[in-house]
Structure 1
Amino acid sequence: MAKIAALSGFPEWLPAERLVEQHVIDVFREVAELHGFSGIETRAVEPLDQLLRKGEIDKEVYVLRRLHAEEEDREPSVGEDRSRTLGLHFDLTVPLARYVLEHQNDLAFPLRRFQIQKVWRGERPQDGRFREFYQADLDVVGQDTLPGHIEAEVAVVMAEVLERLPVPSFTVHANTRRLSEGFFRSLGFEDHTAVLRSLDKLPKIGADAVRELLIGEAGATPEQARACLDFASIRSRDASFAERVREIGGSGEMVEQGIADLTAVLERVEAAVPGVIMADLSIARGLDYYTGTVFETFVSGHESLGSVCSGGRYDSLAADNRHTYPGVGLSIGLSRLVSRLLSADLATATRSVPTCVLVSVPAEEHRHLSDAAARALRGRGIPCEVAPSAAKFGKQIRYADRRGIPFIWFPGLDGAADEVKDIRSGAQSAADAATWDPPAEDRHVRVLAADSDPGPLA
C-alpha cells in the first residue's frame, strides 16, 4: 500500500494531543456556564448567498454538493441564484445571526450563548492557520437594546478562560470605535475608514510605510499623519490614555464619550481580572464593522501568533421588520491556540490515555474476575480498562507502562485479596475495588503548563 500523505490544513492530533485540545474545550465550556452562558450548536451548512453576505470571502467558502450532483445541485456560476446552494460555514457569526432570526420567538433575550464547533475556510494553510478548525465563540445578543456594561462582561469571561489555560501571560487590548472615529474627525477627516485601513497595517509594514499610506490613500497632511500615528502609539493600563489623546488634538463630544466608554471597560475588567486589560489605540481591525469596544488578545512571547481572542460590540448582528439584534461577542481560534500550545511545548497531558488502572488478567478462565473488578472501579468513577490478553504479568505491566497508566490491578485467586501496584514506585498492596482510591492527581488526566509543578491546572 502506498504511503498516505498528510492533508495540509486538516489537523489530526495524537491521543495525548487531543487530551490537551479537549482540556481547552472543557475549560471554555465550564467558565462560560459559570457565567450563565448556554451552549448551542448550529448546522454545519448555510445557504451560499447567506455566507457570502459577510464580504469578499468567495475563495474561502467550501461548497457542499453530492458526488453525482444533479443539475440543480451543481455549483452556481457568477450571477446565478445561490440560495439553493449550500456551503460549509467559515465562522460561527453568520450561523448565529440566522439562528437568532429563525428562533427569536423561542429565545429569551438577552441571549447568552457560547458555541464550540468546527468551521472550514479554504485559505492557504500556515503556522496556526488551518482549513478545518475549532472555533469557540461567546456572545450576548439583545433584542433592540443591549446595555453597555456587557462589553466588559464578555471580556472578563474570556480573560477567565485564558487564565485557566496553560498559556503564558496574556494581555487583552481594547479600543473603541467612537474614540477612534471621533479623534479622526477632530483632525478633519470625513472618511475614517481609509485611516483605519492604513493603521491596521502598522504591525506588518511599520510606521514609515503607514505614514505614506495615510498621505497617499487617506488624503492626510503630514501633520495629520503624524497625529494619527501618535494616536495609534497610545497604550495604558488605566485612564491615563485620555490625557494623551487630548494632548495630540483629540476633542469634541464623540472623543469624550469614547474616552468614557473605554475607561469604563478598563475599570470593570481590571476589577474582575487584574492585570490583563490595556487600552491600545492602535487597534483598527474590525472597527469598520464593530460599533463599540473592540478587543484583541496577545500571548506574551508568542505575538507572531497574532490575536488569539478578538471581537467586540456590534449593533446589528441581524435585523428583520420588527427588531434589530445588537450584541457583544468574542471568539477564540481554538485549534490555532492548541497548535501553539503543542508546538511550543507549553502544555502536556500527564498521560496519553484516560486510563488510571489496568486490570490484569491472570488467565483467560479468570477474565470474569478482572471484568468484575473493572466494573466496581468504574462504578466509583475510576477510569480503567482490562488487559487485552492474559500474557505474563511482566508483559501486562510493560503494556501499562508504555501507555502511561499509573496502576495495575491483580485480581485475587482462590479467596486471596486483590492487589494494586503503583507502576512508577513499585509499591504494591492489598486493595478492595469497592473502597480503594488512587491519589487525586492520578484519577484523571491532567494538562500541565510546561513550567508547572505536578499540581493540576485549575
Structure 2
Amino acid sequence: MTPPAQKVTPISGFPELLPAERLLELHFLDTVREVFELHGFAPLETRAVEPVERLLGKGGDADKEIYGIRRLAGEDTGRESELGLHFDLTVPFARYVLENAGKLSFPFRRYQVQKVWRGERPQEGRFREFTQADIDVVDVGTLAPHFEAEMPLVIAEAFRRLPVGEFRIQVNNRKVPEGFYLGIGLTDVAGTLRVVDKLAKIGPEKVAAQLVEAGATDEQARLCLALAGIRSEDLSFVDEVRALGVEHPVLDEGLDALAAVIRAGTEQAPGTLVADLSVARGLDYYTGTVYETQVVGNEEWGSVCSGGRYDSLASDGRTTYPGVGISIGLSRLVHLLVTKRGLTASRSTPAAVLVAVVDEDTRARSVAVAAALRARGVPCEVAPSAAKFGKQIRYADRRGIPFVWFPGAGDDDGDQVKDIRSGDQVDADAATWECPAADLRPGVVIPQH
C-alpha cells in the first residue's frame, strides 16, 4: 500500500536559498572573511547553545527571543531544558573570552561568521534563523579609542568590494546624548534614549509629547530634538552641538571621541561615515561609539550592519574586558540585494566546464578529462548521460555552465572545447587549457535598469 503523500510547507522565518542565491551568499561570505583576515582578525566559532541564564543576562528583552532546546529521546537529566540557541554572537564571545583569557593574546581581534536564532515575529528582511558576520577587539582593563574608529573602516572596505552600491555608516557616541541630557537636567538617560529612538517611526511631535509625558519640560524636549537633528559627514557637527549652549564634561568626552571616528573616516573612506546624532538604538547598553549602516535607496530596510563599544564586554569580578565590535546581518543584506536589486549568481553551479560524453563506452575518457581539469583548479562536471550533443549543450546552458568539452572531437582524436555563449569551438588539451579567469568561478549578475 502506498503511503499518503505528505504536504511540504515552509516554516516562516527560516529561509532556504536556491543554488544561485547560495552561491551569491558564499561570494559575500568569502569576501567578508578575506577582508577581516586582511585586517588581522582571527577566526572563531563558538557553540550554538548557551545556558539560558547567560542569554537572559544580556540584550534587554532577550527572554522573548530565545529558542530553548531539549532532548527528545533518551534519559532527560533536566540540563537540556536550561540551554538555548544563541540570539547573537556577542554573548557567546564574551563567555569565550572569560573561559580562555589565559590562552589569548590581548588586545584580541576575532571574527565570527555563524548562524543565530531569534524567536521574533518574522517579516521582510527579518528572520528567525540567519547568518551574522562579526568582528570585535577586546582588551584587558582598558581599550584604546582608536579601535572605535577602525571598526567602521573595515566594514567600509568589505562593502566596497561587494555589489552593495552606495551605503552610509551612521555613527554616534553614547556620551554625546548622555552628557547633553545631563547638561539640560534630564537624569533618566536610558529612558530618554528609548523615546528618541522612536523618532523615525512616530515623528518629532509625538517624540516631544512622550518626552514631556515622561517628565521633560517643553524646552528640554525641544533641545533633545535639536540634538537628534544634527547630521554631518565632517566635523561640523561639533560646532552645531556647541551652538545649542549645553555644557557637561561627559558631552565633551563624547564629542571628542565621535570627532576622532569621523576624522578617521574622512581621511580613509570619504563620504562613508556620517555623524548622525539621531542614532539612539543600542545606546542604552553600549558605552561609547555606536554604528548603524544603511544601503542608500533602501533606507526603509533599516540597518544591515550595527555595533558599538562595551566597556564591560566581559568580567569575571576581578578583571574587566572592554570591547568594541560591529556585526553584518549577512542574511538580511543578501536578501535585500536579491529581492530589491535582483542580484544573483551568473550560474547555479560552481562548474565552469561540462565534459560531454560521446557514448557510455567512452565515459571513462570523459571522467579522465574532468580529473585533469580539476587537478588544475578548473571546476567541472561530467555529463549525466550520453545524449545527443545538442541536449548536453542545453543541459550546460540551463545551469549557466559556459564551456562544453568534447573528447576526441579534434584532429588526431584530440579534444575540443566550446564556449556555448559565443559558439567558438577550438582544439584543447586538459593538461594546458586555461579557463578565462572571469569564468572560473560564478560571478555576480547585477541587473541593468
Same fold (TM over 0.5): yes
The answer to whether the 8 A contact 1:133-1:335 is kept is yes
SS at match of 1:274: coil
Map 1:114-129 → 2, pairs under 5 A: 114-129=111-126
Give the superposition deviation at 1:74. 7.7
| C-alpha separation in 2, matches of 1:391 and 1:346 | 34
Q: Which amino acid is 1:36 matched to?
A: G
2:277 matched residue in structure 1: 281
| C-alpha separation in 1, matches of 2:93 and 2:436 | 43
SS at match of 1:73: coil
| C-alpha separation in 1, matches of 2:295 and 2:254 | 26
Give the superposition deviation at 1:72. 3.3
| C-alpha separation in 1, matches of 2:103 and 2:73 | 38
Comparing 268-277 with 246-255, which one deviates more in the overlay?
Answer: 246-255
The answer to whether the 8 A contact 1:66-1:73 is kept is no
Q: Deviations over 1:243-271 (max 9, x none)?
A: 11111122232222221111110011221
Q: Which amino acid is 1:56 matched to?
A: D
| C-alpha separation in 2, matches of 1:159 and 1:250 | 33
Residue 58 to residue 255, structure 1, CA distance change in 2 (3 Å): closer
Comparing 55-64 with 323-332, which one deviates more in the overlay?
Answer: 55-64
1:80 matched residue in structure 2: none
1:405 matched residue in structure 2: 401
SS at match of 2:103: coil
The answer to whether the 8 A contact 2:71-2:80 is kept is no
Matching residue within 317, 320, 341 for 1:321 = 317
The alignment status of 1:67 with 2:63, answered yes or no, reads no
Map 1:437-456 → 2, pairs under 5 A: 437-451=434-448
The answer to whether the 8 A contact 1:362-1:390 is kept is yes
Give the superposition deviation at 1:423. 0.8
Matching residue within 18, 23, 29 for 1:19 = 23
1:3 matched residue in structure 2: 7
| C-alpha separation in 2, matches of 1:122 and 1:195 | 27
Q: Which amino acid is 2:395 matched to?
A: Y
1:455 matched residue in structure 2: none
| C-alpha separation in 1, matches of 2:208 and 2:239 | 24
| C-alpha separation in 2, matches of 1:246 and 1:275 | 23
Residue 59 to residue 396, structure 1, CA distance change in 2 (3 Å): same
Comparing 226-235 with 438-447, which one deviates more in the overlay?
Answer: 438-447
TM-score (norm 1): 0.94
Matching residue within 147, 151, 168 for 2:148 = 151
TM-score (norm 2): 0.96
Q: Deviations over 1:276-329 (max 9, x none)?
A: 011111111111111111111111111111111111111001101331110010
| C-alpha separation in 2, matches of 1:289 and 1:69 | 41
| C-alpha separation in 2, matches of 1:147 and 1:165 | 30
Q: Which amino acid is 1:23 matched to?
A: H
Matching residue within 208, 215, 220 for 1:211 = 208
**Superposition RMSD in Å:** 1.5
SS at match of 1:172: strand
1:41 matched residue in structure 2: 45
| C-alpha separation in 1, matches of 2:208 and 2:303 | 24
The alignment status of 1:187 with 2:184, answered yes or no, reads yes
The alignment status of 1:330 with 2:326, answered yes or no, reads yes
The alignment status of 1:99 with 2:96, answered yes or no, reads yes
| C-alpha separation in 2, matches of 1:157 and 1:369 | 48
The alignment status of 1:419 with 2:416, answered yes or no, reads yes
1:396 matched residue in structure 2: 392
The answer to whether the 8 A contact 1:110-1:140 is kept is yes
Give the superposition deviation at 1:20. 1.0
Identity of aligned residues (%): 59
The alignment status of 1:227 with 2:223, answered yes or no, reads yes
| C-alpha separation in 1, matches of 2:53 and 2:323 | 23
**5+ residue gaps, structure 1:** 77-84, 453-458
The answer to whether the 8 A contact 1:186-1:249 is kept is no
Q: Which amino acid is 1:411 matched to?
A: P
| C-alpha separation in 1, matches of 2:32 and 2:416 | 39
Q: Deviations over 1:114-146 (max 9, x none)?
A: 100001111111101111110111100111111
Q: Which amino acid is 2:282 matched to?
A: G
| C-alpha separation in 1, matches of 2:74 and 2:152 | 45
| C-alpha separation in 2, matches of 1:125 and 1:45 | 21
The answer to whether the 8 A contact 2:110-2:135 is kept is yes
Matching residue within 371, 374, 383 for 2:370 = 374
1:82 matched residue in structure 2: none
The answer to whether the 8 A contact 1:166-1:448 is kept is no
1:262 matched residue in structure 2: 258
**5+ residue gaps, structure 2:** none
| C-alpha separation in 2, matches of 1:74 and 1:138 | 31
Matching residue within 344, 357, 362 for 2:358 = 362
1:196 matched residue in structure 2: 193
Give the superposition deviation at 1:448. 3.5
